[in-house]
Structure 1
């Protein structure tokens, strides 16, 4: 039953996302967000943020045989890959660039919050060194490090999603962001439990 709450939360996100259709331009199909709006910034930055979560999930899948961790990794990879595709699709529909001239997080007035060195572009993102280390660990060590990295990743992602809920203007995007907050909060609790079972704890 430990996955029941997470499954319900994730299902809610996917149902909400399924309602986007092709009128996502502005809910009424007329207004298109500006290139440097919160709507576009969130879609661009969260697509990058999600891509790293997918990569981490596939790495740990191949580094452990633990059923619970592999199931969690699969759920995260599938959900975030689908959401990433939607956000990139919105940028295409809006006719907006997928890369901004401004720094990541500028839409949240947080440009420069990370140097961008070693891969950590946005809140919670793992560095290149941490990603390399994850790929070198096996078994319980890989499980614990993945859970710690993904906990940080989710906390950063929740912060960004809450920023979209506050700043974005496209209704369906705000609803997807709220769904992300709820689903990732559920997964944070699950990861805390999995870490505790392994005699470990989140890094922060």
Structure 2
């Protein structure tokens, strides 16, 4: 299976997400909700996780072209589709709240964890791959690319789960807390699958 339709599928997912944004924010107890402040946990999580997700999508598209293994490509496809969808929702909320998509604050300042990542070599938040690590993924092929992707994605999910748990604890917008809780559950499940896929290849997570 070649997953040749990834780009078309991702575009369709983005359209679905865009159509769901207004409904999600206006639904149920969110009706008439006052927009959160620019320095709130809600806004900070939406901004930071959108950046975090974008890298996961990028890594998934890279490995698609570096291996023919169906299991890894299927996982990468699922991650790319899911996180592109969620990223669209979070950026859409910022638009609806009329809040900036970038902030002068350090990443994760809303969690009182600003400065946790050095920002050097492109690693803006815990779990994010550096530019050097991304280059190593681009240069690998076959099993080596699979192992590199799986290890980087395990670390990426570790950071993502921690951030999502922060939103569950600190965010005030109900629909956003529910999205964050769903991220925790889905990514923890994927981390178990990643561990199994690495074991099959004689490797293990790096953290």
TM-score by length of 1: 0.89
Match of residue 75 from structure 1: 78
Question: Matched residues in 2 for 1:148 and 1:20: separation?
Answer: 36
Aligned length: 189
From 142, 159, 167, give the equivalent of 2:170: 167
Match of residue 52 from structure 1: 55
Matched, 1:140 2:143: yes
Q: How does 1:1-204 map to 2 (within 5 A)?
A: 21=23, 22-23=25-26, 27-204=30-207
Question: Matched residues in 1 for 2:147 and 2:20: separation?
Answer: 33
Q: CA deviation at 1:101?
A: 1.3
Question: Matched residues in 1 for 2:21 and 2:52: separation?
Answer: 23
Gapped regions of structure 1 (runs ≥ 5): 1-13
Q: Please identify runs of 4+ aligned residues in structure 1 that moved more than 3 A.
A: 17-20
Higher RCO (CA-CA < 8 Å; seq separation 6+): 1
Question: Matched residues in 2 for 1:48 and 1:19: separation?
Answer: 18
Root-mean-square deviation over aligned CA pairs: 1.8
Question: Matched residues in 2 for 1:20 and 1:169: separation?
Answer: 18
Question: Matched residues in 1 for 2:98 and 2:129: separation?
Answer: 30
Decide whether aligned partners of structure 1 residues 56 and 41 sit closer, same or farther in structure 2, where only a CA change above 3 A counts. same
Question: Matched residues in 1 for 2:91 and 2:105: separation?
Answer: 18
Question: Matched residues in 2 for 1:82 and 1:19: separation?
Answer: 10
